[in-house]
Amino acid sequence: MTRVAVIGAGIVGLSTAHALRKAGADVTVYESGAPGSGQSAGESRIFRHAHDDVRLAAFVSESRALWRGWEEEFGVELVSGAGAVAIGDGVEGKLRVLSSLPDIPVALLAPAELAAALPILAGFRGKAMLDANGGAIRTRAAFQALTRSLEGALVQDHVLAVQHIPEGGAEVRAGSSADRFDHVVLCAGRGTAALARGAGLDIPVELAAHARVTFRVRQDAGVPLPTFQDGSGEFGETGVYAAPSADNRHYAVGLSETTAVRQDGSLADSAALDSLAARASAYVRRALPGLDPEPAGYVHCWVTRLPWGDDGVGIWSAGNVSAVAGHNLFKQAPALGGALAETALTGVVPPILRPGSHLGKS
Ligand SMILES: Cc1cc2nc3c(=O)[nH]c(=O)nc-3n(C[C@H](O)[C@H](O)[C@H](O)COP(=O)(O)OP(=O)(O)OC[C@H]3O[C@@H](n4cnc5c(N)ncnc54)[C@H](O)[C@@H]3O)c2cc1C
C-alpha cells in the first residue's frame, strides 16, 4: 500500500487525504493546530462558478459535482441551494465566460428579482446576476464530515522539515517523530512555501492578511440568503463579497482587498486590519440595511496569493514531494484534492495545474 503524508488539515489537505484514502493509499495527515483553523477558518465560504479564467470556471464546475457527491456520501448539505448573486458592470463578462460552459445555470436579475433574492440589500438598479448552482459552503459541516471520515489518520504535530531520501520516498520531521513515506503532499497554507523550499521547490507565493466581519440579520430574511459579490461601486466599494451562515441569521462581509505583510511575517501596517473591518461596517450601513451594522464576529487570517491573480492556483512537484498554493481554494478543494492525490500516486501533475499553466489568471 502506498504511504502518503499530507501536511496540513485545512480544507485542501483533508480533501487530498480523503481522495487518497478512496484510491487505496495509507494516509497520515499532520496538523499543528486544530483542523480548519488556518485560512479555512470561520463559517461559510462562497461557491461561485464565475472566474476570469474559463479553465478555472470549468475546474470549479467539476468541483461542484464532487461537493454533491460528498453530500450524498456524508448525508449532509455542504453547499446551500440559495445561489450566488453578483452585481456591477463585471456581470456581463462573468455571463460571457459561463455561457461557454455546459450546465451552469446563470441569469440576469431585474431589480425586483434581485430585491426578492436578496431582501437585505438596499435598492439597486444596475446589472445583477444569479449563479443558481452557486451558494454558501457549509464549512463547519465539511470539516466535521471530513475529519470523521479520516479518523485515525490525523496526527497533531508541527512539521519542521520534509526532505527527499536518496533511496526513494521522503521523510517528515515533526515535533516528536521522524517518518518515511512514498510521497509527501504539502497543503500547509501559509506554511507551504517554507516547507517546500526545504524540499527544493520554489513557490512564488505572496503573503497578505485579510479581515472579514460577521453581522446579524435584523429580522427573518424570509428566504434562504444567497452569497453576494458587489463590484459596482454604487455603495462606495468596488470589491465586496459576503456569505450567509448556515442558520441564515448572520451574514459575513469582507472587502476583497488584503493588507501587505513584510518578509519577516509582520503586518506592514498594524492598523490596516482594523481599517478593512471598519470599511466593511461602513459598507454594511450603506448597502445592506437588512443587517445590524454592529460587528458580531471577525475572521482575521493570512492569505497566500500567486503572482498571476487572486484566484491563481498551482501544484509544484519534484521527486516524491508535491505542494499546492493559491487563494480562494475552498470551493475547488474537492477537485484540487483529487488532483493532488493523483499527483502523489502517479508522480504526474495534471497539466492544467502545472505552475506554467497559470490557472486562475486574472
Ligand atoms: C476570510 C476569508 C474568506 C474567504 N472566502 C473564500 C470564498 O468565499 N470562497 C473560496 O473558495 N475561498 C475563500 N477563501 C480562501 C479559502 O478559505 C482558502 O483558500 C482555503 O481555506 C485554503 O485552505 P488550505 O487547506 O490550503 O489552507 P489552510 O486552511 O490554511 O490549511 C493549512 C493547515 O496547515 C497547517 N500547518 C501549517 N504549517 C504546518 C506545519 N509546519 N506542520 C503542521 N501543520 C501545519 C495549518 O495549521 C493549517 O491548518 C477565503 C479565505 C478567507 C481567509
Average pLDDT over residues 297-306: 96
Mutate to test the pocket of ligand 1, among 12, 30, 44, 45 (most ligand atoms within 8 A of CB): 45
Q: Which atom of ligand 1 is nearest to the CA of 254?
A: 1
Inform me whether the pLDDT recorded for 31 exceeds 90.
yes
- pLDDT, one tens digit per residue, over 158-186 is 999 999 999 999 999 999 999 999 999 99
Confidence bin at 358 (pLDDT 50/70/90)? very high
Q: Show which of 305, 321, 348 is a domain's final residue.
A: 305
Each residue's pLDDT tens digit, 320-339: 999 999 999 999 999 999 99
192 close to 322: Cβ distance less than 8 angstroms: no
Q: Same structural domain for residues 229 and 115?
A: yes
CATH number at residue 267: 3.30.9.10
Ligand 1 pocket, CB under 6 A: 7-13, 30-33, 37-40, 42, 45-46, 158-159, 187-189, 191, 195, 210, 212, 241, 254, 299, 301, 327-331
Same domain for 161 and 180: yes
In this prediction, residue 8 carries a pLDDT of: 98
* Per-chain mean pLDDT for the chain: 97
**Dihedral-angle region of residue 189 (phi above 0 means left; psi in -120 to 50 means alpha; beta otherwise):** left
What is the grid cell recorded at 233?
A: 461601486
What does the pLDDT read at residue 304? 97
**pLDDT, tens digit, 9 for 90 and up, residues 267-291:** 999 899 999 999 999 999 999 999 9
Q: How many domains does the chain have?
A: 2
- For residue 257, what pLDDT is reported? 93
Give a yes or no: residue 240 inside a domain: yes
Does pLDDT of 29 surpass 90?
yes
pLDDT recorded at residue 362: 87
Does 362 reside within a domain? no
State whether 94 and 223 are in the same domain: yes
Atom of ligand 1 nearest to the CA of 37: 49
Q: Are residues 108 and 217 in the same domain?
A: yes
Domain encompassing residue 183: 3-39+142-204+312-357
Q: How far is the CA of 8 from the centre of ligand 1 (A)?
A: 9
Cβ neighbours around 335 below 10 Å, total: 23
Give the Å distance between the CA of 40 and the centre of ligand 1.
4
The answer to whether residue 45 is domain-embedded is no
- Grid cell of 160 as nine digits: 519542521
Boundary of a domain, candidates 282, 305, 328: 305
- The mean per-residue pLDDT over the stretch 106-121 comes to 97
User: Is 46 a member of any domain?
Assistant: no
Is 74 among the domain residues? Answer: no
Whether residues 119 and 90 share a domain: the answer is: yes
Q: For strands 3-7 and 183-186, give the pairing.
A: parallel
End residue of a domain, out of 287, 305, 323? 305
CATH code of the domain in which 343 resides? 3.50.50.60
Q: What pLDDT, on the 0 to 100 scale, is given for residue 270?
A: 86
> Do 154 and 292 fall within a single domain?
no
Q: What is the pLDDT of residue 269?
A: 92
**298 and 324: one domain?**
no
111 occurs within a structural domain: yes
pLDDT at 131 over 90: yes
330, 331, 332, best to mutate for ligand 1 pocket (most atoms within 8 Å of CB): 330
pLDDT at 263 over 90: no
For residue 30, report the distance from its CA to the centre of ligand 1, in Å.
15
My answer on whether 114 and 216 are in the same domain is yes
Do residues 17 and 108 both lie within one domain?
no
Span of 132-146, 182-196, 263-277 with lowest mean pLDDT: 263-277
In a domain, 77, yes or no: no
User: What separation in angstroms does the CA of 97 have from each of 49, 51, 52, 53, 258?
Assistant: 10, 8, 7, 8, 26
Q: pLDDT tens digits for 34-62?
A: 999 999 999 999 999 999 999 999 999 99
Burial of 298 (0-12, 13-18, 19+ CB in 10 A): middle
Same domain, yes or no, for 339 and 212?
no
Rounded Cα distance between 272 and 252, Å, is 19
Question: Which of 133, 118, 45 lies closest to 328 in space, CA to CA?
Answer: 45
User: Distance from CA of residue 146 to its chain's centroid?
Assistant: 16
The answer on 294 and 258 residing in a single domain is yes
Q: pLDDT-derived band of residue 293, with 50, 70 and 90 as boundaries?
A: very high
Confidence of residue 250 (pLDDT cuts 50, 70, 90): very high
Distance in Å, CA 189 to ligand 1 centroid: 5
Mean pLDDT of 326-355: 98
pLDDT of 248 strictly over 90: yes
Residue 32: exposure state from Cβ atoms within 10 A (0-12, 13-18, ≥19): middle
Which of 28, 40, 322 most suits a substitution to test ligand 1, by most atoms within 8 Å of the C-beta?
A: 40
Do residue 211 and residue 250 come from a single domain?
Answer: yes
How many angstroms does the Cα of residue 303 sit away from the middle of ligand 1?
8
Q: Atom 33 of ligand 1 has which residue's CA nearest to it?
A: 8
Give the ligand 1 atom nearest the CA of 303.
53
CA 39 to ligand 1 center in whole angstroms: 3
Residue 220 amino acid letter: D
Ligand 1 atom at shortest distance from the alpha carbon of 195: 41
Inside any domain, residue 266: yes
Q: Which of 29, 32, 37, 39 to mutate to test the pocket of ligand 1 (most atoms within 8 A of CB)?
A: 39
**Nearest residue CA, atom 37 of ligand 1?**
188
